[in-house]
Structure 1
């Protein structure tokens, strides 16, 4: 059986990104919204939240979106 015919094959990177982009954006917004409430504790808290996200590819998407949103708020 070839990987293209394997029903358990992982989606391509583009497919994974497309399927999870909206969820990653919402998660990043949730994390950023807690910043004012948590104050100085936010950085450690957000790191633990990102660490808990699975799979790692999704956690990286959330991390990038969080960075984008953070930069947009400081501009």
Structure 2
């Protein structure tokens, strides 16, 4: 049984759709939360694991904005 970590590219391919969906979920709350949105998003991102996935969601948020 291999314990090798998947390559970064493989990880991104595997989780891209989930990262996009998560970013869309976060953006959907922007109008509702208005000025409270940014701290709320920061907290949501902080809770995402692993950190590589949280970074993917951050990039998607930037891309969608």
Q: Aligned residue pairs: how many?
A: 65
Q: Which of the two has higher C-alpha Rg?
A: 1
2:63 equivalent in structure 1: 68
- After superposing on structure 2, the runs of 4+ consecutive aligned residues of structure 1 that deviate more than 3 Å are none
TM-score by length of 1: 0.84
2:51 equivalent in structure 1: 56
Say what the alpha-carbon RMSD is for the aligned residues. Answer: 0.8
- Within-5 A mapping of 1:1-75: 7-70=2-65
Q: What's the secondary structure of 2:4's corresponding residue?
A: coil
Inter-partner Cα distance in structure 2 for 1:69 and 1:33: 11
Inter-partner Cα distance in structure 2 for 1:7 and 1:52: 28
